[in-house]
Amino acid sequence: MTGFMLYQKLNGKWRDDKMSDKYQNTELIPEERAAYLLEELSLDEKVAQLNCVFPFDKASYDFAGINEQTKHGIGQVSTLEMRRMESLDEVVRWQRKVQRIVMENSPHRIPAIFHMEGLCGAFIQDSTSFPSGIGRGAGWNPKLEEKIAEIVSRQEAACGITHVFAPVLDISRDSRMGRQGETYGEDPVLTASLGSAYTKGCQKYETAGRRTESVAKHFLAFHNSAAGIHGANSDTPERLLEEIYGKPFQAAITEAGLRGIMPCYCLINGEPASASHHLLTELLREEMGFDGLCVSDYGAINNAFMFQGIGETKEETGLLCLEAGMDMELPSVEGYGEAFKNLFASGRADMDILDRAVKRVLTAKFRMGLFEHPFALEGEELRRVFMNKKDKEISLQSAKESMVLIKNNGVLPIQKSVKKIALIGPHADSPRKFFGGYTHMCMMESTYAIANSIAGVSGSENVDNKEIVTVPGTNIQSDETPEFDVILKRQKPDCRSILEELKAQMPDAEIRYAYGYPIAGADQSGYARALEIAEDADIVILTLGGKHGTCSMASMGEGVDATNINLPECQDAFIRKAAKLGKPLIGVHFDGRPISSDAADAHLDAILEAWNPSEMGAEAVVSTLLGRYNPGGKMPVTTAYTSGQIPIYYNHPHNSAWHQTGSIGFLNYVDMPHTPRYYFGHGLSYTKFEYSNLQLSKDCIMPTESIRIQCDVENTGEYKGDEVVQLYLKDIHASMARPVKELAGFKRITLVPGEKKKVIFEIKASQLAFLDRRMKWKIEKGTIEAEIGGSSEDIRLSGAFEIVENGWVAGRDRAFYADVTVE
């Protein structure tokens, strides 16, 4: 007896009608089962499968209301409000109750897909939280990314959740945009490699008979929005759309079998991504070969109608989106409602278009195993999924690997002779600030946000008439009030602060703490105490940066964009004052964008970029400062001096940016250099690495062949350490302008002192394909230069090979990144 039939029997729902039961046959493939079931559905049932119910806030326990909204069943259920639930038992009771309502209302007992974000872990009590996307981008470790996705998948599937909204495959070249911290960075190869790894991990295993499916976002060119403004228009040429922004999505489809896509909010070249037949059908499905489920971002269809002015009515906008290829509307009914249904009932809309989307939804549900296993686990079986010590070890490893040592004049690692440490800054005694956007922590914090606000509280309607406490001199809501501490104690009771971790790892040292300055603004009221303890210390550690999160208490996050990408005035000014004391100064930066500060460059003796390291962040940071862990992270973005240089990225075309030196080129701006503050791929270590013995397996290759490029890397220093070996390729002369260089492959390796390893990159010629004048993927004959080093600028070895004739390849069939082995 199948799980579906058992459910019917236990609930007294045996059907006595003449309906076919072919779709219950588990021997059939999901597409066949979906086709049989589709034949039996009424119009009401079909439209319900494209809809979602969003039980928000107190409505999450309004089961009568949920029942009313799912009277013909439902396609999806939002689980956002699981963030408020205080135990795993509460989470699974809710899922089982809502799923039961949905199935009892559905004439064919069709279960709902429950969805949840997955970038940094589940929004569930006792789940494991992970560093932000940009931090994991700085780790350059696809195998670790796959393990993270496996954990997220296992924990969410155990709670009945099978749509995981991750990975974020956006290419980010603009630090003004508040969501840069969600991305893996600026490079399409790095993002493709990490994103494919996440997708593989998420879709790899069954948990409780269910399989989760990745929903990659935000298709396409979301972070190319005008002025770095969230959701603004994105005027992105087709060549750039496909070669740069589309590459990670294509890799996840081709290499990992990606099953879900979420389009972005932006207007792309004049039309909403959600309503673009060109993007969602011609490009995504027909050219890229995607055959999964396309779901809207929250409120995207209503956004297209109300704010982007697409369609005369909501149902017309909904139909445009459906025709474009948008299968489901989330999180609640706007465009796919009653009036939308009537378009099909009256014959004004093509039923085949509706059936196409419904079949995709049903196919996904069969593929996920929901008909046989619709309910969350319970009891000890559930707890075993979450009480795995190795999960926290993976989070700690990821946090450590995300650390990027940007600058070090020898003050790090901190020596045992140091006995007095001054620890200063808003992050030092507040581990909540370790959690970036789309973590459980920040999503729960957002429930305390001032009403109707995203980027600050200015102009918001304070409907609860609460006193609005802000960061002094700013419109950012302060999170330094008692209710926020309650969240930390409940979610992560064992999460330590930097202060606590320093005291634990340095029991014989005197650690003195002062708040010093806030995350934003110009307030100097805490300077006196901070300078007092700094003057008495052997060494001074400053925590710097803002708060990457969500809503009005964040200085960076979704909808929290900024024109100033530099440290706030209060922090820059303190650095300058502290420098006059003549003490060694160490800066540890926390945020979703990279540190950029003239004062930090000039006066800090060491800078450690820590991003948002999550629940194991304190141990990762302190272990790195003390040399118990040797940092090996590399910058996943190019860092501008100021926002006036944006967009700035290393893989710009020839004779652009800081390579604009020939013919009509000029070296600098009037007021600053063209060059960046920190280059893509940069990152220091406590040890030294030497590169040698570059070898290319061939001098010439055909467009259907591959080449091996290898070198030796040796640890010639005194510490065990990690090096990210980076291979860049450059096509100097071509029929279309090409980048000055492009990352082709990379490998993070660990070496003990004196150890040498051989790193071998296998490059297929098709990886060098680009769109020619006819917009066909061309592998062009000519000379290709190969460079290997420790960053995009720190090149240690170089060589060249020849592609001897032209060739063409389908975009979906080309290679995306090198296969790398180590001997």
- The model's pLDDT over 502-530, given as tens digits with 9 standing for 90+, comes to 999 999 999 999 999 999 999 999 999 99
Give me the DSSP letters along 449-463: SPTT-SS-STT---T
Query: pLDDT band at residue 460, thresholds of 50, 70 and 90?
Result: low
Is residue 8 over pLDDT 80?
no
pLDDT of residue 287: 98
What gap in Å lies between CA 731 and CA 733, rounded to an integer? 6
438-456: average pLDDT: 78
Q: What angle do CA 298, 459, 552 make, to 5 degrees?
A: 50
pLDDT of residue 813: 98
Let me know: does 398 contact 135? Beta carbons within 8 Å: yes
N-term to C-term CA, the chain: 52
What gap in Å lies between CA 710 and CA 699, rounded to an integer? 14
Q: What angle do CA 84, 87, 88 make, to 5 degrees?
A: 110
Give burial (CB, 10 Å; 0-12/13-18/19+) of 104: middle
Let me know: does 455 contact 559? Beta carbons within 8 Å: yes
pLDDT of residue 749: 98
Say what percent of the chain tops pLDDT 70.
95
> How far is residue 507 from each of residues 494, 499, 500, measured CA to CA in Å?
19, 12, 10
Residues 6+ apart with CB under 8 A from 377: 92, 158, 159, 208, 385
- Radius of gyration (Cα) for the chain, nearest Å? 27
pLDDT of residue 550: 83
Residue that has been written with the tokens 């969600």 in this structure: 182
pLDDT of residue 485: 87
386-410: average pLDDT: 97
> How far is residue 492 from each of residues 90, 364, 485, 486, 496, measured CA to CA in Å?
17, 34, 10, 10, 9
Q: Are strands 52-53 and 777-779 parallel, antiparallel or unpaired?
A: unpaired
Where does 264-327 show beta strands of DSSP type E? Answer: 267-268, 271-272, 293-294
> How far is residue 767 from each of residues 486, 640, 762, measured CA to CA in Å?
51, 29, 11
Give me the DSSP letters along 311-361: SSSHHHHHHHHHHHT--B--SS-SSSSHHHHHHHHTTSS-HHHHHHHHHHH
The gap from C-alpha 157 to its chain's centroid, in whole angstroms, comes to: 20
Q: Which tokens go with 404? A: 């990027």
What gap in Å lies between CA 568 and CA 520, rounded to an integer? 5
Let me know: does 589 contact 607? Beta carbons within 8 Å: yes
What gap in Å lies between CA 117 and CA 133, rounded to an integer? 13
Tell me which residue of 415, 447, 444 sits closest to 432, measured CA to CA: 444
Let me know: does 148 contact 391? Beta carbons within 8 Å: no
Residues 6+ apart with CB under 8 A from 207: 153, 154, 157, 158, 385
Is residue 664 over pLDDT 90?
no
Q: Which tokens go with 799? A: 């060589």
Let me know: does 354 contact 47? Beta carbons within 8 Å: yes
Query: pLDDT band at residue 481, thresholds of 50, 70 and 90?
Result: confident
> How far is residue 325 from each of residues 318, 353, 730, measured CA to CA in Å?
11, 9, 37
pLDDT of residue 12: 38
What gap in Å lies between CA 658 and CA 567, rounded to an integer? 24
From 151-155, 298-302, 469-473, the region with the lowest mean pLDDT = 469-473
370-392: average pLDDT: 96
Enumerate domains of the chain plus CATH numbers: 3-384 (3.20.20.300), 403-633 (3.40.50.1700), 689-822 (2.60.40.10)
Is residue 671 over pLDDT 50?
yes
Residues linked to residue 756 through DSSP beta bridges, in sequence order? 714
Tens-digit pLDDT profile for residues 689-742: 999 999 999 999 999 999 999 999 999 999 999 999 999 999 989 999 999 999
Query: pLDDT band at residue 177, thresholds of 50, 70 and 90?
Result: very high
Is residue 655 over pLDDT 70?
yes
**DSSP character at residue 234:** B
Query: pLDDT band at residue 551, thresholds of 50, 70 and 90?
Result: confident
18-36: average pLDDT: 88
| Cis amide prior to 55 (ω within 30 degrees) | no
Let me know: does 158 contact 151? Beta carbons within 8 Å: no
Residues 6+ apart with CB under 8 A from 637: 134, 137, 172, 173, 175, 180, 185, 186, 594, 649, 680
**DSSP character at residue 464:** T
Give burial (CB, 10 Å; 0-12/13-18/19+) of 810: middle
Number of other residues whose CB lies within 10 A of the CB of residue 819: 13
Between residues 467 and 360, the one the model is more confident about = 360
Number of other residues whose CB lies within 10 A of the CB of residue 278: 16
Q: Residue 270: helix, strand or coil by DSSP? A: coil
Phi/psi of residue 639, each to 5°? -100, 125
Q: Are strands 819-822 and 756-764 parallel, antiparallel or unpaired?
A: antiparallel
Q: Residue 112: helix, strand or coil by DSSP? A: coil
pLDDT of residue 736: 96
The residue length of the chain stands at: 823
72-93: average pLDDT: 96
What gap in Å lies between CA 217 and CA 815, rounded to an integer? 21
461-484: average pLDDT: 80
What gap in Å lies between CA 403 and CA 683, rounded to an integer? 9
Amino acid (one-letter) located at 790:
G
310-325: average pLDDT: 98
Is residue 272 over pLDDT 80?
yes
In the chain, DSSP finds a helix count (H) and a strand count (E) of 24, 31
Residue that has been written with the tokens 């979703």 in this structure: 592
- For all residues of the chain together, what is the average pLDDT? 94
Tens-digit pLDDT profile for residues 253-264: 999 999 999 999
What gap in Å lies between CA 203 and CA 416, rounded to an integer? 46
pLDDT of residue 663: 65
What gap in Å lies between CA 121 and CA 45, rounded to an integer? 33
Let me know: does 558 contact 179? Beta carbons within 8 Å: yes
Quick one: residue 231, left, alpha or beta (phi over 0 = left, psi -120 to 50 = alpha)?
Answer: left
pLDDT of residue 4: 45
